[in-house]
């Protein structure tokens, strides 16, 4: 069994806006990108950590990312340029963030994202505060 690596990274999601951010997992000394071939990812965003249901769920996507694609965690494919090794993209389509600020006030929620290796073992967790920003345009 492998120990799960954890990274604390705060994010900001605008209500009704698209969130599109790429991250890269590196480890070791010197730092080297992790080969994510065969990995999957899942992410939940909650208004409060104690909430039973997430307000946004971001599933793993098996297809390559395309502009205006589906909400999901996209793992950069094997064979990408060497600088893209270890990268994964979190894409939350605008429709997926509509209505996240129910009382039309900014929230400080919580999220976590798990990467699973090809054996289905959770080996990486990215977590932190999800700053949920209310938008006047709804």
Domain that residue 88 falls in: 5-133
**Does some domain include residue 138?**
no
pLDDT-derived band at 138 (thresholds 50, 70, 90) equals low
Query: Using one digit for the tens of pLDDT, what is the confidence trace for 47-75?
Result: 999 999 999 999 999 888 887 889 999 99
Contacts for 82-85 with beta carbons within 8 Å, 24 or more apart?
85/33, 85/34, 85/35, 85/36
Question: What is the percentage of the chain residues whose pLDDT exceeds 70?
Answer: 96
pLDDT at residue 80 greater than cutoff 80:
no
pTM of the model: 0.91
pLDDT at residue 1 greater than cutoff 90:
no
* Burial class of 121 by CB neighbour count within 10 A (0 to 12, 13 to 18, 19+): exposed
| Cα radius of gyration (the chain) | 15
**Does some domain include residue 45?**
yes
**Does some domain include residue 117?**
yes
**Does some domain include residue 28?**
yes
What's the CA dihedral at 102, 115, 39, 66 to 10 degrees? Answer: 30
CB-based contacts of 9, cutoff 8 Å, min separation 6 = 23, 126, 127, 128
**Cα distance between residue 78 and residue 84, in whole Å:** 9
Query: Using one digit for the tens of pLDDT, what is the confidence trace for 91-129?
Result: 999 999 999 998 889 999 999 999 999 999 999 999 999
User: What is the domain count for the chain?
Assistant: 1
Residue 137: its pLDDT value, please?
A: 76
pLDDT at residue 87 greater than cutoff 80:
yes
Question: Which CATH number does the domain housing residue 97 bear?
Answer: 2.60.40.10
**Does some domain include residue 54?**
yes
């Amino acid at each position: 069994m492998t120990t799960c690596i954890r990274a604390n990274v705060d994010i900001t999601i605008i209500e009704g806006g698209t969130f599109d951010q790429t991250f890269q997992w590196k480890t070791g000394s010197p730092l080297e990108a992790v080969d994510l071939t065969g990995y999957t990812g899942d992410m939940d965003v909650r208004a409060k950590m104690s909430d039973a249901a997430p307000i946004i769920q971001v599933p793993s996507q098996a297809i390559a990312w395309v502009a205006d694609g589906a909400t999901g965690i996209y793992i950069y494919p094997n064979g990408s340029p060497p600088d893209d090794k270890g990268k994964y993209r979190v894409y939350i389509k605008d429709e997926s963030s509509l209505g996240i600020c129910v009382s039309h006030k900014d929230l400080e929620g919580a999220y976590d994202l798990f990467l699973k290796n090809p054996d289905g073992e959770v080996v990486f967790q990215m977590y932190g505060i999800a700053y949920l920003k209310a938008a006047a345009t709804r």
